[in-house]
Structure 1
Amino acid sequence: MQLKQWLFGVVVAFSLVASASARSLPEFTELIEDHSPAVVKINTVERAKRSSPRQQYPQDIPDIFRHLFEPRDPREREQRSMGSGFIISEDGYVLTNNHVVEGADDISVRLIDNREFDAEVIGTDPRSDLALLKVNADDLPTLAFADSDDLKVGEWVLAIGSPFGLDFTASAGIVSAIGRSIPTERNENYVPFIQTDVAINPGNSGGPLFNMEGKVVGINSQIYTRSGGSIGLSFAIPSNVAKDVIAQLKDKGRVDRGWLGVAIQAVDRDLAKSFGLDKPMGALIQQIEPASPADKSGLEVGDVIIRFDGKTIAKSADLPHVVGGIAPGTKVDVDVMRAGKKKRLQVTVGTLNGENTPSVAAKASGDRLGLVVEPVDSRQLQALRINGGVMVVQVAPDSPAAKAGLRPGDVIAQLGFNEVKDPGHYQALQKALPEGKLLPIRFYRDGRPTFRSIIIEE
């Protein structure tokens, strides 16, 4: 009898422990039911034309044989891709990743109830990998943003998207780390990523990352993988970064970021001791660009920036995140360690150059080359060591410029056999270009000069 009572007690105890454990696990069903309607699948089509080389043939050849020498019609190829996104306003604004829609000629947005809309691009920000779309609809379901600064490591989070085309798939995990620095191919680093172990795969890009309150804390953007699939290392753009980008894209069709004009490196243990720091921290200034905000403020090579605008710079990668998020023209305090002593300076943050392009929703048709251009500021001309040029803002699909491989952000320095001085000079040059003749065009991309050939077809 005593043995039976003991066994019964053990069973009851195990049941209570199991029940308590089950109650402590999160329940996602209500969150998914309530918020899936505002998540969308994004399908894109990119068309590319390949033209046969222009051929020359004798003028005296009989007409009956001339068709054998004529160039063939361009062959059109379609490249289809997909991603995810979510609706942020009832009147049809949709947020996704820039890489989901980059280069797309057609974009469609499909809801979980199978409604489908064509979408236009309001603006893009390659540096944060975000794009703002608009569909013609009203009374749409929406998602709300949370304050990503409140996010804690260990919190449960949920993603909804369309991995590998499997529509509206949910996956869950925890926040593994915050403030992760992942430099881009151009070695830029302006997003303090949220790292999670949520199963994110190709097709999830641009979809929402929810907290347990059903608010968006991040936009799924990247994964680390050796196989092409999830291995438990995924990265999301914080919602606070997204909110700032959305506001600027809506207001002016581009994103302006703060700029300091320094090259920096990390501070290790030995450097920390030599600079009078208690522990490795801060961003050590290696180089200062002449006439930059840093130069004008009195910052010096060898300074270790430990606080910027009241925010602690725990590691060197924190500085671009902080500076980039400050509105150009803002005066801020900078705390540095200089020769073993703390010093406070004030700097007026400048404007970061690069991919701050106007909204492509302006529907500008471009010139004879299919380009919309704008002036290049003197600072960038000086960095490229050229006296003049124009920056490409927009490239029309299937245009001569598109076929020559030009992209937004390229700086055109030569057109034909003439150096380009400014937008007015460029317009005069492109209007005078002959048809049917291959001509050189020289432009700068990522600081490197490149020659291509360009032709305006007859």
Structure 2
Amino acid sequence: MDGRTWTAALLLAGGLNTAGIAPADSASLREVYAATSAAVVTVFTREVIVLVDETPRIAKVEHEAAGVIISTDGDLLTAAHLVETADRIAVKLRDGRVLPARVVASEPAADIALLRLEELPEAVAVARLGDSDRMEVGDDIFIIGAPHGVERYLSVGRLSARSRPDQVGADLTLGEFFATDAHISAGVSGGPMFNTEGEIIGIATHLLGQEQAGPRVGFGVTSNAARRLLLEQRSFWGGFRGRWLTGLLAQAFNVPRQRGLLVERIAKNAHSPAALLGLRAGTLAARIGGVELVAGGDIILAIQGVSLEEEDGYPKARERLASLGTGDTVTMEIVREGEIVQLSAAIPAPE
């Protein structure tokens, strides 16, 4: 199949840009879509958060995005920002079944997470992980997601660039990202990016730019980064979202060291290490020095005996966490209400 002669004239894709693409291979795209879309799922999350806006308040929020099943064990890939602090995760399969799921590995620094279905259906469609290093700028790709609740929405485009993490988001420091002109929006996040052979070569995560300022650019973390961080290294899921406190922010919070990690949200469920440790999330929306944050939560100083004050402290701590198994102990040193407190909890066995 010559991917460069694809057509985007699929009615399933709705509103795709067809300029410059020959109609001869529309059947090929239909075939690849039919072969891959059954493995794409809709991911539903629910969590309680403190909203930081004109009227700060605690609210229950629900999100809907996408994911893709990659193994017959019920493992699936999605974006970390969708599930990192979710209290509840559910996955809707193509046949309409809705099953509970949990996070088994996550790397927020690359915005990629691995989930596992807690109930394994008798037959489950699986998509193949491809080799993203084989992709070149200009190659045709397609993404399947669920924008605005439209399940298995097909978006066609090209690989527009290879990007470093810092070119995509300030909080991203690991992995490699593909830029694409294919449609990416909130509901497409977590959706698989396929090559013309029907292999996953990325997971959609981010969208940059303002509509009124010109074309917006979509990004997806590469499949090889996902494989390395989640399947080979098993990046540890902490079950919390934090904000670094340095300089004036560290002084404002009376952090006893040069740097600390303020806990803003935690996942409150039976699998969450943050909940098992007894970490406390923020409860008060605040603006300090022009920075909007959620205050009142614990401030982490050290993880597994590694001080976060060190320049490479956080990566070192995550390496130690990734080596832990069932029954091993997670430890943290935190500041709570002005006092230094030691927390510890054993990693439970999967249910």
User: Which TM bucket (shorter chain)?
Assistant: 0.5 to 0.7
Deviation at 1:91, TM superposition (A): 1.8
| Structure 2 residue aligned with 1:91 | 73
Task: Flag the 1:224–1:188 CA change in 2: closer, same or farther, 3 A.
Answer: closer
CA distance in 2, matches of 1:187, 1:254: 16
Deviation at 1:246, TM superposition (A): 2.1
Contact residue 303 and residue 333 of structure 2 kept, 8 A:
no
Secondary structure of 2:308 counterpart = helix
Secondary structure of 2:182 counterpart = coil
Contact residue 165 and residue 177 of structure 2 kept, 8 A:
yes
Task: Flag the 1:150–1:174 CA change in 2: closer, same or farther, 3 A.
Answer: same
Task: Flag the 1:368–1:171 CA change in 2: closer, same or farther, 3 A.
Answer: closer
CA distance in 1, matches of 2:200, 2:277: 41
Q: Which one of 84, 89, 92 corresponds to residue 102 of structure 1? A: 84
Structure 2, unaligned runs of 5 or more? 1-20, 52-56, 239-260, 264-268, 282-297, 313-320, 322-329, 346-351
Deviation at 1:189, TM superposition (A): 2.9
After TM superposition, the structure 1 = structure 2 runs for residues 1-150 of structure 1, keeping only pairs within 5 Å, are: 21-23=22-24, 27-48=28-49, 77-135=59-117, 136-138=119-121, 139-150=123-134
Residue by residue, what CA displacement relative to the aligned partner does 1:310-339 show, whole Å, maximum 9, x if unpaired?
xxxxxxxxxxxxxxxxxxxxxxxxxxxxxx
CA distance in 1, matches of 2:233, 2:90: 20
Deviation at 1:120, TM superposition (A): 1.1
Contact residue 199 and residue 232 of structure 1 kept, 8 A:
no
Deviation at 1:193, TM superposition (A): 1.1
The amino acid across from 1:127 in the alignment is: A
Q: Give the structure, 1 or 2, with the largest relative contact order (CA under 8 Å, sep 6 or more).
A: 2
Higher-Rg member (1/2):
1
Contact residue 42 and residue 83 of structure 1 kept, 8 A:
yes
Report the aligned-residue RMSD: 4.1
Residue by residue, what CA displacement relative to the aligned partner does 1:148-178 show, whole Å, maximum 9, x if unpaired?
0000111111111101211110010111112
Deviation at 1:416, TM superposition (A): 4.2
Task: Flag the 1:211–1:409 CA change in 2: closer, same or farther, 3 A.
Answer: farther
Task: Flag the 1:231–1:111 CA change in 2: closer, same or farther, 3 A.
Answer: farther
- Indicate whether 1:366 and 2:348 are aligned: no
Task: Flag the 1:190–1:39 CA change in 2: closer, same or farther, 3 A.
Answer: same
CA distance in 2, matches of 1:363, 1:188: 22
CA distance in 2, matches of 1:241, 1:35: 21
Secondary structure of 1:366 counterpart = helix
Structure 1, unaligned runs of 5 or more? 1-19, 51-74, 256-352, 385-392, 394-407, 427-458
| Structure 2 residue aligned with 1:178 | 162
Identical aligned pairs, as a percentage?
A: 27
Secondary structure of 1:28 counterpart = helix
- Indicate whether 1:380 and 2:290 are aligned: no
Deviation at 1:24, TM superposition (A): 6.4
The amino acid across from 1:118 in the alignment is: P
Deviation at 1:253, TM superposition (A): 3.6
| Structure 2 residue aligned with 1:211 | 195
Contact residue 196 and residue 232 of structure 1 kept, 8 A:
no
Task: Flag the 1:42–1:209 CA change in 2: closer, same or farther, 3 A.
Answer: same
Contact residue 41 and residue 91 of structure 2 kept, 8 A:
yes
Contact residue 168 and residue 208 of structure 2 kept, 8 A:
no
CA distance in 1, matches of 2:172, 2:272: 29
Contact residue 83 and residue 204 of structure 1 kept, 8 A:
yes
Deviation at 1:21, TM superposition (A): 4.7
TM-score by length of 2: 0.62
Deviation at 1:366, TM superposition (A): 2.9
CA distance in 1, matches of 2:308, 2:179: 34
Deviation at 1:179, TM superposition (A): 3.5
Contact residue 109 and residue 171 of structure 2 kept, 8 A:
no
Task: Flag the 1:367–1:147 CA change in 2: closer, same or farther, 3 A.
Answer: closer
Q: Which one of 174, 180, 186 corresponds to residue 190 of structure 1? A: 174
Task: Flag the 1:106–1:380 CA change in 2: closer, same or farther, 3 A.
Answer: closer
Deviation at 1:88, TM superposition (A): 0.7
Residue by residue, what CA displacement relative to the aligned partner does 1:385-433 show, whole Å, maximum 9, x if unpaired?
xxxxxxxx9xxxxxxxxxxxxxx99962x4445444x558x9xxxxxxx
Deviation at 1:368, TM superposition (A): 5.9
Task: Flag the 1:232–1:248 CA change in 2: closer, same or farther, 3 A.
Answer: same
Deviation at 1:92, TM superposition (A): 0.8
| Structure 2 residue aligned with 1:166 | 150
Using the TM superposition, name which of 368-377 and 129-138 deviates more.
Answer: 368-377
Residue by residue, what CA displacement relative to the aligned partner does 1:344-398 show, whole Å, maximum 9, x if unpaired?
xxxxxxxxx9x9xxxx9755553566699874545534569xxxxxxxx9xxxxx
Secondary structure of 1:30 counterpart = helix
Contact residue 160 and residue 207 of structure 1 kept, 8 A:
yes
Task: Flag the 1:92–1:361 CA change in 2: closer, same or farther, 3 A.
Answer: farther
CA distance in 2, matches of 1:93, 1:229: 39
CA distance in 2, matches of 1:184, 1:157: 19
Secondary structure of 1:27 counterpart = helix
Higher strand share: 2
The amino acid across from 1:109 in the alignment is: V
CA distance in 1, matches of 2:206, 2:279: 35
- Indicate whether 1:220 and 2:204 are aligned: yes
Q: How many residues align?
A: 257
CA distance in 2, matches of 1:224, 1:208: 18
